[in-house]
Amino acid sequence: MIVEIKVPDLGESINEVEIGEWLVEVGDWVNVDDDLVAVDSDKATVEIPSPQAGVLVEIIKKQGEPAAIGEVVGRLDTEKEEAESDGGGAGEKTESEAPAGKSKERVAKTTTRASEDTDTATTEAEETEELADNNMVMPAAARILGELGIDADGVEGTGPGGRVLKEDALKAVEKSKAPQEKKEQPPSAKTPQGNDGQEEEERVAMTPIRRTIASRLLEAKQNMALLTTFNEADMSEVKRFRSQFGKDFNEKYGIRLGFMSFFIKASVAALLDFPVVNARIEGNEIVYRRSCDIGVAIGGGKGLVVPVLRRAETMSFAGIEQQIGDFAERAQANKLSMDELSGGSFTISNGGVYGSLLSTPIVNPPQSAILGLHAIQDRPVAIDGEVVIRPMMYLALTYDHRIIDGREAVTFLRGIKERIENPQKLLLEI
């Protein structure tokens, strides 16, 4: 029976995807729920699982091609493997009749051994015919080379007396295909070569995720009254806190105590003090959120993604660090789900991990504000009339001035600064 492989529903706002890498090839056996193909949406990369066990017999949509939700991208034959096994004799079992523990690797090995036995028998018959005809090119090899117009004189034979076997012909075919395939690759639009013989430009199509990032950032710039306010935080106490308790924290929870959990806890406290920063505009209404759903910007395998910590106000330091670690690992493997990437009410972006000293982050619509963190640097600061060296970090809050007034924004950011400089407040929730 032929089973169609369709693009699943990936969310209300997603109508089209781009086909990514096919994880199996035509002719491969797959089990139920084996990943078949990766598809790129405007939010994440997801894999389409196999609806049934069978053989992939057709790939309709190739890598890089667009596909609508519900569109057929390939087909499976659930009976092909069984039919092939039946032809092998009464003593053989089909995969469906095999014991439940038998894996597809075992089936593949059995099929490979049978194929090797057949090839061995064929080769021996060809050698017998060659010896009778006193011909240095075996019939099967001659047929393969003749079909592709490859001169047998240029093929090195590995058979007895230098005879050209079927395997030699196949190797020659592969060698001839390599440069041809390279030549037939879709050319990207490039400018003429420079004086050094290298191309000066190369045009590459934007991925769906990158197109969405570009569109949303442009939307924010065009539709919001964006303003950024700055402050700086002395990181001495947080660094001392991490140095004092970091080892015990790691031993108990199995994860490193980072800076992000402090800023998330501080942001949650400030959002509870200023609910308007956690709100959004819809038409002529302001929608206030009852929970603090914090998006954390993470560099993923195919671009920046912002997974969301749901109800961050209920999470502990350990819970935050564990969730962020899980997000980061799965972001690199493009394994984040649609639900994990949507619905945030406030975002934190840490450009400091890349060395950024200062920036003006752009709000992620429909949110109303974003906090930008930056690199920690030892700088001279005046404290109690004396100049001392302290580890300082610049903080930046970009906000939608249509909904958040300057006084609220400045006070909100100062609240984060005070809690970072006195982390005891976070533990006492004050």
For 16, the token pair is: 């089209």
424 and 320 housed in the same domain: yes
Domain of 332 in residue numbering reads as 208-428
8 and 131 housed in the same domain: no
> Whole-prediction pTM value?
0.62
246 and 277 housed in the same domain: yes
Under DSSP, the state recorded for 276 is G
78 and 227 housed in the same domain: no
CATH number at residue 141: 4.10.320.10
- Look at residue 189 and tell me if it is in a domain: no
Low-confidence stretches of the chain (pLDDT < 50) are 82-83, 85-118, 120-134, 183
- Look at residue 302 and tell me if it is in a domain: yes
Rounded to the nearest angstrom, the gap between the alpha carbon of residue 3 and the centroid of all alpha carbons in its chain is: 27
- Look at residue 191 and tell me if it is in a domain: no
Return phi, psi of residue 241, to 5°.
-60, -45
> What is the tally of structural domains in the chain?
3
Cα(125)–Cα(107) distance, rounded to whole angstroms? 27
**What is the reported pLDDT for 89?**
42
How are beta strands 72-77 and 54-59 bridged, if at all? antiparallel
pLDDT tens, residue by residue, 3-57? 888 888 776 567 778 888 888 888 888 888 888 888 877 666 778 888 888 888 8
Q: 293, 309 in Cβ contact below 8 A?
A: yes
CATH number at residue 242: 3.30.559.10
Query: Which are the catalytic amino acids?
Result: 401, 405
236 and 300 housed in the same domain: yes
21 and 98 housed in the same domain: yes
Cα(323)–Cα(271) distance, rounded to whole angstroms? 20
CATH number at residue 1: 2.40.50.100
Sign of CA dihedral 297, 299, 302, 307: negative
In 178-237, beta strands by DSSP E: 226-234
227 and 87 housed in the same domain: no
Rounded to the nearest angstrom, the gap between the alpha carbon of residue 167 and the centroid of all alpha carbons in its chain is: 39
Q: 383, 242 in Cβ contact below 8 A?
A: no
- Look at residue 197 and tell me if it is in a domain: no
**What is the reported pLDDT for 13?**
60
Task: Give which of 224, 222, 228 is closest to 409, Cα–Cα.
Answer: 228
Cα(325)–Cα(321) distance, rounded to whole angstroms? 6
Q: Residues near 356 by Cβ (< 8 Å), separated by ≥ 6?
A: 374, 375
